[in-house]
Amino acid sequence: MTTKALITGASSGIGEAYADRLARRGRDLILVARNAARLETLAARLRAEAGVSVEILPADLGRADDLARVEAMLRDDETIDMLVNNAGVAGEGPFADADPAFLTGLINLNVLAVTRLAAAIAPRLVANGAGAIINLASVTALMPDGFTAVYPATKAFVLALTEALQVELGAKGVRVQAVLPGITRTAIWDQEQLSQIPAEMVMEVGEMVDAALAGLDQGEGVTIPALPDARDFDAYLAARAALRPNLSHRHAADRYRS
Ligand SMILES: NC(=O)c1ccc[n+]([C@@H]2O[C@H](COP(=O)([O-])OP(=O)(O)OC[C@H]3O[C@@H](n4cnc5c(N)ncnc54)[C@H](OP(=O)(O)O)[C@@H]3O)[C@@H](O)[C@H]2O)c1
């Protein structure tokens, strides 16, 4: 049986690059995004160039009915063994000026849809003891004080969810990876804004996805494509783990007691 990867946000940027790279690895694909014309153009190119089967599933993952259609496919299609949970938006301004409707859309896509799609495929992958869920977080998950307020918080959610799923699903043979890109040249950025960022901080999208897939191949749970020394992230995890024995005690710490 040929297995398929379902990629959300495949109509541009990182999702499109995942589609390209996975097709070249011989994987059949299901491409999800709102822009059906862009999905069909990409699907036609990949069928012709890579000889794989590519379906498109146009959907707005911010809409309950569309999200339910994609969930149903992940739940029911036995041939899907990989979810690339990539669709996401950014672009909020200062929190004090935030439009509540925009924040709702941001959280619905970056948090709710990511969670529900992972939950839709998880039971089948666990039952099969195989498969993969790749969640696109961001380095902003590690720097809540360095960007805007809500986007990094959504990505911290994705990272925390992924780490928890690694414990639960990883024990059952399912690979779960969080990818934390730094600044990557895609349409998520205002191009004028991007041109003002030092070039040495901006990665091309193909290089980013190649690195993320290399991390997956190496069995990494968290892949930070730009980080030169993986031991720096290990040290961060070790510092966090060192807090654990002291995070829950019968009495408050001395500094809080008069
Ligand atoms: N580029 C970066 O610097 C960077 C850094 C860290 C993390 N990331 C993360 O990487 C992921 C991909 O971003 P990108 O940089 O590739 O951005 P992008 O080029 O803007 O692509 C975003 C994709 O998400 C889709 N999408 C947006 N809203 C959607 C909706 N409501 N329903 C379904 N699909 C929707 C878009 O397609 P349609 O418009 O056709 O729906 C598009 O395919 C995001 O999760 C982002 O947060 C990006």
Q: What is the pLDDT of residues 32-43, one digit of tens each?
A: 999 999 999 999
- Asked whether residue 249 is domain-assigned, the answer is no
- Asked whether residue 242 is domain-assigned, the answer is no
- Asked whether residue 251 is domain-assigned, the answer is no
pLDDT average, residue stretch 68-73: 98
CATH number of the domain enclosing 44: 3.40.50.720
Pocket test residue of 6, 7, 8, 12 for ligand 1, highest count of atoms within 8 A of CB: 12
- pLDDT tens by residue, 204-227: 999 999 999 999 999 999 999 999
- Asked whether residue 257 is domain-assigned, the answer is no
Give the count of domains, the chain.
1
- Asked whether residue 184 is domain-assigned, the answer is yes
Residue 14 CB–ligand 1 contact under 6 Å: yes
Q: How far is CA 246 from CA 16, 160, 216, 234, 237, in A?
A: 44, 20, 33, 20, 16
Pocket test residue of 20, 42, 61, 188 for ligand 1, highest count of atoms within 8 A of CB: 188
Domain that holds residue 18: 4-230
Residue 102: HSE in the Cβ half-sphere, 13 Å Cα cutoff: 12
- Asked whether residue 246 is domain-assigned, the answer is no
Q: Which two tokens stand for residue 142?
A: 């590690």
Residue 90 CB–ligand 1 contact under 6 Å: yes
- Asked whether residue 42 is domain-assigned, the answer is yes
- pLDDT tens by residue, 104-117: 999 999 999 999 99
Which pLDDT does position 75 carry in this prediction? 98
- Asked whether residue 258 is domain-assigned, the answer is no
